[in-house]
Structure 1
């Protein structure tokens, strides 16, 4: 439902601006500026912007206004150089992050001079108000497309400029396709015919001949298809390079940037070739024209945000996120139990970790009795946690709350495979149900062993006349997980954040290790070969290369759990951590020390607190990791919301599917 229109006076301003465009003008730029000044809302109000935009579209249904505005826009395009708009707008530049940051800062402080002969600069003259990007971005894409369809199909002058832009893009693609960083990942490109060179040669002929429509040698539909096949082959090389870097060779910031930029250029080439092929087609391709109008709308917004520092940092975080989440996605697949055998394996691995957690909880309790200085106590606790987590990793056990950061990346990778549209909802639904089931198995294994083992240790210690925990400490342990009287849930969220950061660090170190070839370099150390032989050195190098991220992440997570409370004490801030498995073990020690005489209200609050702590641990780390992983793949977080309804139905109809292993359900077939 469209919002109500504004008073007639505002509509008259837009209609007068459109009326002036019906008269032929040598330069329509000033009149187009007046039109967008009339459409521009006050105080960048998105509602008012949508109202005025709707009013303009309604007036454009009048043939006189429609034809006048189309003629003005075509004249504006014909009188300006358009190549930079097609070949640069919306694409990553070849400059580095800091060089581009310096340029943006300089232009924010001292705006660059606009060249009216360049179409890119004319866009900034049309939308010259600082708030234009905000209100224009608030208008739905479909509404913007309705306006830019005025430029479909493109004029002959536009096609000439598109042809030259294709050549510019082709040269860049060819150069990027021969970069040493790409050849390192795909060495076979050195010895075989490069598809990037073939694309450039074919495109050079196509763009030249496409404009000679009367010539009998001019290209046809078959030539366009062949060119798109070559473009597809180049995109397949990018996909294989990305896959190879993730799986074996390792990626880096420069390689991630290169592959992203290369993919952007190839996508732009596909679009422009489709538009250029209008000259050799009897009927314009409706899908291509739709993409062309989308491109024009995006290009305008891209130009208005060209010097945006926020957009610049958003692009950087997207690149870094992609760098560190790819390995996490690959690792996350091992944390998702898809059948009964894997579920029981997950439970056994988590139970093994539960034994270590019960011992670590006791060590931390006894360490607190040393009454060390605050920072020393924090470092001691961090070493206890970190050493225990390293042991868990070395023994191939599983800590439940460390899984979400990995499994979220695996889910995001599946989402990105469907281009963010969730076309295979059943597959994603099963993956999320399997993830929940795996998390339950891991939590059950950790808590189900750590809690009773703490009781057994306390009982045996009591029989040996040894008091592992004082009665005062037992009461404190029970009280510190009470969600009603303490900040335990806030502290659980802090632990969830550290879990998320741990996943990022593990992914980064895994990438760095593979990209830097740490394993082979360690295996070739002369002193290591003398000590353990060449085969032993090879095994050591292979192990370090495969486990560098896991070892580093576990040590970091342990140190953060120990140091965070100490930092909070020193700064006078409410900083602490709560972890479900350690909290459960602490309750076990508190119960056995008190002789199971804790007040029922305290005990119930403690049990409920442990459950809520686990829920917060999982939700915070999973949500953050999923958000970053989706962002790294350019998939909006809202794409996952469409799964909420089928997830609720599945939970209502088959609640045990989220907890226990079941026989695989036959997915309903969807009509083709």
Structure 2
């Protein structure tokens, strides 16, 4: 054993040394003594990384004593020799074929009532040794190098261990082949229906031949055979990636398909680890390489087993996969909301101006609706229908509402980050993308507000001149008070609206995915009565339109209903729930100013303008942050990695503040795109 770090002197009463000393005595069953040993290694708090590492390194230090080393090695070899191993290799940490919700029920039931264990099974022995639910936490904090130093105790690998791994590899290859022929997978990758070219069938044939020749002295397997076998696992991985792309692009996904693809990936990765371990018998490798392969394999399998009943990981793995496929729809849409040049910036501004026109009219319609004095829930439903109908009209006319952009653009930015495997290796490109996003958001807000506010002034003035002004002075004062940033909860209400904006992005992506998965477009085009009524060509056009816009239409209706119903629910429950939306707030100020004949206290008016600006900022920041968080986590990237861009963004803001708001000079566009 190698010396890892400096240690304090260890006394004879040290619990770990006592446990190791107990392993040097002869005993028929080493399991109880191994349980006691790991009890001494367990830190008081599982989250205490430093204490966990200190205790583990103390163990490694003690193993430099020959009798302790030999005693622990003999105990581990005896444990493996006396137990069945194949379930440990083929089931630990791997999803079963029962499905997501069946597995969720199993985990819940085992959290309430611990499952029975079989001491003759190695998998159950691992659970007896690590018998606390928190063991997975502190074991994960042990560096891989230190785990390798421990698992070298079992090298060189005994024939029994290698034989059990060989049996397990055969079982896994058979399961992988069966999963590769599942109807759900064949639906999204039709080329797999040609069984002659299926990599899953080729894999099992190659694995059977590899294992048959593994112990053959006349025709032994070689390193070339191992590499050839790994080629087939790579091809299987490629099919899984293709299934993800197809599900994202056209076919759609489901919880069942996501479960199957996740399970298939897990089995392929486990099989590759087994192949690397089995190859030590046919490759000329340095001893350290053998130790690394075995230790990596054991560390992975043990960690997976310790998290076997983790509800958090189970939900995170599968829901992360579903959210990835759902947010991909938002990412493709978000690319249209990011202006890379002057032409696109002005296009966003014009589309937002069109939406501002409708928003001014919708705000007036909502004010008129409030004069009906309906019951709370009925008023909420009416407001929701006004909002939702207006948003759908905005969508149909291809206009843009500024606050709906962040949920889409955040997914597009996260998609760029995922191309670097979650690492921000192209920081310059990401900074440029975020600057372009900020510029596009500013254009959308300016388009909404610059039309909604003056149009509200104009409509209010015309109504006042005609003698039918729907906004009374009392209502006008309420509208001005509602946007005060410091004396009311307007910013908190703006955050609630931001949350609904974020949820709307998920709803739109989910509906788009559901439409693709259910093949809604072709099925609508195939309706007999529709073909007879509108003709086949128009029926096909209707099907394509519904398929392409289902998410947008449902998402807009959902967002409108949430804006209308949130205050109603708050009123019924006696909770301070309401919403503030920047474009509607700016229109409301316009109507209020006209109703008060512009006789407004200067301080009140200035704070109202500031409140609208802050409401817009909160709307955007909340929805963008939540969308970016979910999109990054679904791609396996940590949100904190995006924080490393803040210094670069701050530097860019101080050096070129204009780029965050206005279109870039054409002379500056070429160098940045190169």
Shorter-chain TM-score above 0.5: yes
1:496-546 Cα offsets, whole Å, 9 max, x none, are 111121111111111111111111111122221222111111111110011
1:322-379 Cα offsets, whole Å, 9 max, x none, are 3432322222222222333222222221121111111111111111122111111111
Residues 43, 223 of structure 1: CA spacing in aligned structure 2 closer, same or farther, 3 A cutoff?
A: closer
Q: Which residue of 2 aligns with 1:42?
A: 44
Contact 1:3–1:51 under 8 Å retained in 2: no
**What does 1:170-209 correspond to in 2, within 5 Å?**
170-191=173-194, 193-209=197-213
The worse-fitting range, judged by mean Cα deviation, of 336-345 and 520-529 is 336-345
Q: Which residue of 1 aligns with 2:539?
A: 537
**What does 1:83-162 correspond to in 2, within 5 Å?**
83-139=86-142, 144=147, 147-148=150-151, 150-151=153-154, 154-162=157-165
Residues 420, 76 of structure 1: CA spacing in aligned structure 2 closer, same or farther, 3 A cutoff?
A: farther
Residues 454, 10 of structure 1: CA spacing in aligned structure 2 closer, same or farther, 3 A cutoff?
A: farther
**What does 1:543-562 correspond to in 2, within 5 Å?**
543-562=545-564
Residues 333, 141 of structure 1: CA spacing in aligned structure 2 closer, same or farther, 3 A cutoff?
A: farther
Deviation at 1:201, TM superposition (A): 0.8
Residues 55, 661 of structure 1: CA spacing in aligned structure 2 closer, same or farther, 3 A cutoff?
A: farther
The worse-fitting range, judged by mean Cα deviation, of 282-291 and 242-251 is 282-291
Contact 2:99–2:256 under 8 Å retained in 1: no
1:228-279 Cα offsets, whole Å, 9 max, x none, are 2221111111111211121112222211222222122222222222222222
Q: Distance in 1 between matches of 2:95 and 2:43?
A: 31
Q: Which residue of 2 aligns with 1:55?
A: 58
Q: Which residue of 1 aligns with 2:651?
A: 649
Q: Distance in 1 between matches of 2:365 and 2:261?
A: 48
Q: Which residue of 2 aligns with 1:593?
A: 595
The worse-fitting range, judged by mean Cα deviation, of 450-459 and 140-149 is 140-149
1:25-47 Cα offsets, whole Å, 9 max, x none, are 55432222121111123354625
Residues 428, 211 of structure 1: CA spacing in aligned structure 2 closer, same or farther, 3 A cutoff?
A: farther
Deviation at 1:61, TM superposition (A): 5.0
Deviation at 1:576, TM superposition (A): 0.6
Q: Which residue of 2 aligns with 1:390?
A: 392
Residues 478, 523 of structure 1: CA spacing in aligned structure 2 closer, same or farther, 3 A cutoff?
A: same
Normalised to the residue count of structure 1, the TM-score between the two structures is 0.92
Contact 2:253–2:322 under 8 Å retained in 1: no
Q: Which residue of 1 aligns with 2:85?
A: 82
The correspondence for 1:73, drawn from 52, 76, 86, is 76
Q: Which residue of 1 aligns with 2:577?
A: 575
Contact 2:338–2:440 under 8 Å retained in 1: yes
The correspondence for 1:260, drawn from 259, 262, 265, is 262
**What does 1:447-462 correspond to in 2, within 5 Å?**
447-462=449-464
Contact 1:408–1:625 under 8 Å retained in 2: yes
What is the alpha-carbon root mean square deviation over aligned residues? 2.8
Deviation at 1:474, TM superposition (A): 1.8
Partner-residue secondary structure (3-state), 1:31: helix
The worse-fitting range, judged by mean Cα deviation, of 246-255 and 434-443 is 434-443
Contact 1:5–1:51 under 8 Å retained in 2: no
Deviation at 1:478, TM superposition (A): 1.4
The worse-fitting range, judged by mean Cα deviation, of 220-229 and 641-650 is 641-650
**What does 1:270-349 correspond to in 2, within 5 Å?**
270-283=272-285, 290=292, 293-349=295-351
Q: Which runs of 5+ in 2 are unaligned?
A: none
Q: Distance in 1 between matches of 2:673 and 2:584?
A: 42
The correspondence for 1:31, drawn from 29, 33, 36, is 33
Contact 1:210–1:277 under 8 Å retained in 2: no
Partner-residue secondary structure (3-state), 1:403: helix
Q: Distance in 1 between matches of 2:260 and 2:171?
A: 17
Q: Distance in 2 between matches of 1:291 and 1:414?
A: 33
Residues 72, 619 of structure 1: CA spacing in aligned structure 2 closer, same or farther, 3 A cutoff?
A: farther
Contact 1:74–1:151 under 8 Å retained in 2: yes
Contact 1:253–1:319 under 8 Å retained in 2: no
Q: How many aligned positions are there?
A: 666
Contact 1:408–1:629 under 8 Å retained in 2: yes
Contact 2:512–2:548 under 8 Å retained in 1: yes
1:596-619 Cα offsets, whole Å, 9 max, x none, are 332222222222222221222122
Q: Which residue of 2 aligns with 1:237?
A: 239
1:646-670 Cα offsets, whole Å, 9 max, x none, are 333333333333323333474799x
Q: Distance in 1 between matches of 2:118 and 2:620?
A: 54
Contact 1:11–1:52 under 8 Å retained in 2: no
Normalised to the residue count of structure 2, the TM-score between the two structures is 0.91
Q: Which residue of 2 aligns with 1:602?
A: 604
Q: Distance in 2 between matches of 1:425 and 1:285?
A: 40
Deviation at 1:22, TM superposition (A): 4.8
Contact 1:275–1:289 under 8 Å retained in 2: no
Partner-residue secondary structure (3-state), 1:545: helix
